[in-house]
Structure 1
Amino acid sequence: MTWTTSITQQLLKPLILGIAIGTSLSVTSVNAEIGYPEKEELKFGFIKLTDMAPIAVAYEKGYFEEEGLYVTIEAQANWKVLLDGVIDGRLDGAHMLAGQPIAATIGYGTKAHIITPFSMDLNGNAITVSNDVWAKMKPNIAKQADGKPVHPITADSLKPVVEEFNAAGKPFNMGMVFPVSTHNYELRYWLAAGGIHPGFYAPHKGDTSGQIDAQALLSVTPPPQMPSTLEAGTIYGYCVGEPWNQQAVFKGIGVPVVTDYEIWKNNPEKVFGITAQFAEKYPNTTIRLTRALIRAAKWLDDNNNANRPEAVKILSQPNYVGADYDVIANSMTGTFEYEKGDKRAVPDFNVFFRHNATYPYYSDAIWYLTQMRRWGQIEQDQSDDWYKDVAAKVYRPDLYAKAAQSLIDDKLIPASAFPDFSSESGFKAPQTHFIDNLVYDGSQPNAYINSFTIGLKQGDKL
């Protein structure tokens, strides 16, 4: 930034912060309460997935600038590079896997205190298998009257295929995007619900492969490389976010068999991550960037997804996701294509604001921790209170509520669009919509862990 540009921004700052476009003059007093951003020039990272949309929209629609923030957005090579960038300060914040701030804070992998004031979306992932594997699965799947498969498709239909591979001494390889990704836990959840063991981690023994006792071998593949890796035959299936499942359909190399909406209805997906130090050093900036992201998320869901075609145009640009418009639109506009030609309405495949999608619930964080324990990434038993304490260190509904309340006061978003902050506990009611019909109660994590047939339970050690 040049000296002249900086001076111009300083002169314009009171105007930008005092009167947001199209709002009443009440913004002035509310913004004064928040205070000017301590840090104006910010760099945010992301991975080329459609669920980075709130960041792109906040930039393209001017929401960051209305908060006095001058943001650069930069795609990252992979999730580790992205996390390292936030930790070392090269990035001020980033689109993150929900498990990344949690894992970093407890010291699994890189140790750092990362927090999130904003949950970026619900749903958005799917599991895709190769055409050959799909052909072997189909005879095991019930059919509708029109001959199309009955959904949701469970991993019971994949189990004979995996057993066939194992009997022949051939590994059944599958891809996921990162060891603490939602994709890893969703793929493991789906496989285990169908009686297929996805393997354990034993970091205390130096084994971070996640393949101990595995019948299906899961390994990391960066999201944009999933289709080509599947096409090459290196993996036989994968779990990833969009547009890389629909890309397999368009290329004719694979079939998405189940969405994460079908595995766990309205599951949390990505978060916006910053260091705890950043939030402490720049409290006004933190609230202001959260305000901008909330506004972007609402715009994405407004008027029954009416803005999605415009969002798809934004995301198809090479500096964002860079996939073809039609590929991104296949899921972002409320449909999802499974087998070629089998396109079905899935209006909640991508949710950015409704269903309180942006609120950072403690119970969401605890679910990830239960899966880390289930598969051995957390080595030892922990008390229920430990799970709750970790969640409170990482997920920051207090910061979210401050940003949201200021938007309510500014008359930018009605109070009815948010949880009731005066009574909200941060714990969702027990959730019942899982593919295995188990109930998840975030207030009782150990009871939940003990309810699984496959996986570590209290007292188990590797």
Structure 2
Amino acid sequence: MLKGQQNARRSFIKRSLSALAVSVAIGASILGASSVHAEVGEPEKEELKFGFIKLTDMAPLAIAYEKGFFEDEGLYVTLEAQANWKVLLDGVIDGKLDGAHMLAGQPIAATIGYGTKAHIVTPFSMDLNGNGITVSNDIWERMKKHVPMQADGKPVHPIKADYLKPVVDEFIDEGKPFKMGMVFPVSTHNYELRYWLAAGGIHPGYYAPHKGDTSGQIDAMAQLSVTPPPQMPATMEAGTIHGYCVGEPWNQQAVFKGIGVPVITDYEIWKDNPEKVFGLNKEFTDKYPNTTIRLVKALIRAGEWLDANDNANRKEAVKILAKPEYVGADEEVIANSMTGTFEYEKGDKREIPDFNVFFRYNATYPYYSDAVWYLTQMRRWGQISDAKDDAWYEETAKSVYRPDIYAKAAKELIDAGTLKAADFPDFTTETGFKKPQTEFIDNITFDGTKPNDYLKSFPIGLKGEDKL
């Protein structure tokens, strides 16, 4: 656990903030209140505990803490690693945690009642991209003969699941299950792995919660199951699973250990896809609105620091994340993806400057369309059992994603001169829906305003009135 700063330092910061408030008040009386920005009020709750899982995309939390961005907002934060995603979510629901680094699907699933029912919201998207799909050495050798090669003998990327399908077919013919791991049923990793497999003609299986079946393996050609991220490499090495989808550094760990090959990144499955979010109980945001805005301000600053000057701060970030209280992996392993490269087969290191994005491309803005995409995948694979109209998708997205809170935080930073308006969406015209997105591995276009049309475009998956 990371301890908060000492009381003496807290007192100094509080005195400094009070002096600043007095200065602003004096300035307002001299210049006229209309010419001075009305800053957000003092935090209603100062002592906060945030949870995270040991993945590199928890970086905004670590940076906001280490660089004093939380304290700049009068917030005294403790960061605490959690055992798994369920424990983390339960902590936010029962109040043991004030907020947490979450799978993007967790606030959505909780709010619609898939799993534990609770109204969880997110005013902040933590990053884009950052995941990969790794297979064991044995599976890679069997896949490799189907993969097109460059003149130098290295594979042509992206590597599609089409090249895995003959291997899966061999397993089926031999009466053997083909097993892969993902981190949680409502994780981006689950949906990305399913998306990649289905695009290659490999059915990843359905859920049927209305029948009490939450295995996700109905009609599955590849059986997916939950494995905690840090355990992925060892579980694959033991032969329990043949591959997995996970965030960093656990794909690169397989390369360093020589036990597997990352075959594709999520950047290649869906360019600049949303990944983690910062989740809060809606009750918390209602009770502590100033605290919520202030913590979002700190996280925005952390995201900007991570991407500033073409990732110039990433080497320092790697050193911070390597600490045992954060990710606790070797610096070299973390740097392999955090500093703009990604190593596939050992020695095949390629430039992917956007493998981890924490601020550019409006990465931190909580778009409604991102939430809609997750909902479509929940419906596609049966986690949402019944058909829903387009209006339901939009209403649900708006109940979970909170760009209104984000905009207040961003405007505070703009008015203070900390960041520029050009760094953010145009809040006067922003609808919360991205333009139709085309850069998916299967070339299917996603329009967040037309979720049912999107579902109809998939050859594999539930759509319309389909029900298991």
Scaled by the length of structure 1, the TM-score of the pair is 0.96
Verify: 1:15 aligned to 2:35, yes or no.
no
Cα distance in 2 for residues equivalent to 1:133 and 1:26:
68
Q: Is 1:110 aligned to residue 116 of structure 2? A: yes
- Count of residues in Structure 1 that have an aligned counterpart in Structure 2: 457
Whether 1:385 aligns to 2:384 is: no
Q: For residues 316 and 19 of structure 2, what CA distance do their matches in structure 1 show?
A: 28
Equivalent residue number for residue 341 of structure 2? 335
Identity %: 75
For 2:186 and 2:111, the matched residues in 1 are separated by 12
Aligned residue number for residue 429 of structure 1: 435
Q: How far 1:12 sits from its partner (Å)?
A: 4.1
Q: What CA distance in whole angstroms lies between the structure 2 residues aligned with 1:318 and 1:284?
A: 32
Is the 1:211–1:217 Cα contact (8 Å) retained in structure 2? yes
Give the one of 188, 192, 196 matched to 2:198.
192
228 and 8 in structure 1: CA distance in 2 versus 1, 3 angstrom threshold: closer
Q: Deviations over 1:366-414 (max 9, x none)?
A: 0000000000000100010000000000000000000000000000000
| Mapping of residues 395-406 of structure 1, within 5 Å | 395-406=401-412
1:14 is displaced (CA, Å) by: 4.7
Which residue is equivalent to 2:308?
302
1:129 maps to 2:130: no
Could you tell me how far 1:309 is from its partner in structure 2?
A: 0.2
Q: How does 1:144-223 map to 2 (within 5 A)?
A: 144-223=150-229
The RMSD of aligned alpha carbons is 2.0
SS class of match (2:464):
coil
Distance 2:435 2:230 in 1: 35
1:7–1:302 Cα change, 3 Å:
closer
User: Per-residue CA shift, 1:402-439, capped at 9, x if unaligned?
Assistant: 00000000000000000000000000000000000000
Aligned AA (1:242)? E
Q: 1:166 to 1:449 in 2, by over 3 A?
A: same
Q: Which residue of the other structure, out of 50, 63, 67, is the alignment partner of 1:61?
A: 67
Match of 2:89 in 1: 83
The aligned amino acid for 1:171 is: P
Write the distance in 1 (CA, Å) between the matches of 2:80 and 2:10: 22
Q: 1:242 to 1:26 in 2, by over 3 A?
A: farther
Whether contact under 8 Å (1:116, 1:271) holds in the other structure is yes
Q: In 2, distance between residues paired with 1:204 and 1:312? A: 44
Q: Secondary structure at the match of 1:34?
A: coil
> For the residues of structure 2 that align with 1:280 and 1:256, how far apart are their CA atoms?
43
- Check if 1:408 corresponds to 2:414: yes
Shift of 1:293: 0.1
Correspondence for 2:272: 266
Cα–Cα, structure 1 residues 265 and 18, in superposed 2: closer, same or farther, change >3 Å?
farther
Alpha-carbon distance, 1:9 to partner: 3.9
Distance 1:456 1:18, change over 3 A: farther
Question: Structure 2 vs 1, CA of residues 408 and 165 (structure 1 numbering), >3 Å: closer, same or farther?
Answer: same
* Cα distance between partner residues in 2 of 1:255 and 1:300: 27
**Distance in structure 2 (CA, Å) of the matches to 1:383 and 1:10:** 53
User: 2: CA distance between counterparts of 1:27 and 1:57?
Assistant: 33
Distance 1:453 1:234 in 2: 30
1:145 deviates by 1.1
Are 1:287 and 2:289 matched, yes or no? no
TM (norm. structure 2) is 0.95
User: Contact (CA 8 Å) 1:19, 1:27: kept in 2 or not?
Assistant: no
Q: Could you tell me how far apart the structure 1 residues matched to 2:344 and 2:68 are?
A: 36
Aligned counterpart, 2:54: 48
TM-aligned CA deviation for residue 333 of structure 1: 0.1
User: Partner residue of 1:239?
Assistant: 245
Check if 1:319 corresponds to 2:325.
yes
Q: 1:5 to 1:208 in 2, by over 3 A?
A: same
The verdict on how the C-alpha distance between 1:233 and 1:19 changes in structure 2, with shifts beyond 3 A counting, is farther
Contact 1:17–1:36 (8 Å) recurs in 2: no
- 2:456 alignment counterpart: 450
Distance 2:411 2:204 in 1: 43
- Unaligned regions of 5+ residues in structure 1, if any? none
Residue 458 (structure 1) shift: 0.4
Secondary structure of 1:170 counterpart: coil
- Give the Å deviation of 1:33: 2.7
Paired residue secondary structure (2:145): helix
CA contact (8 A) 1:178 1:184 kept: yes
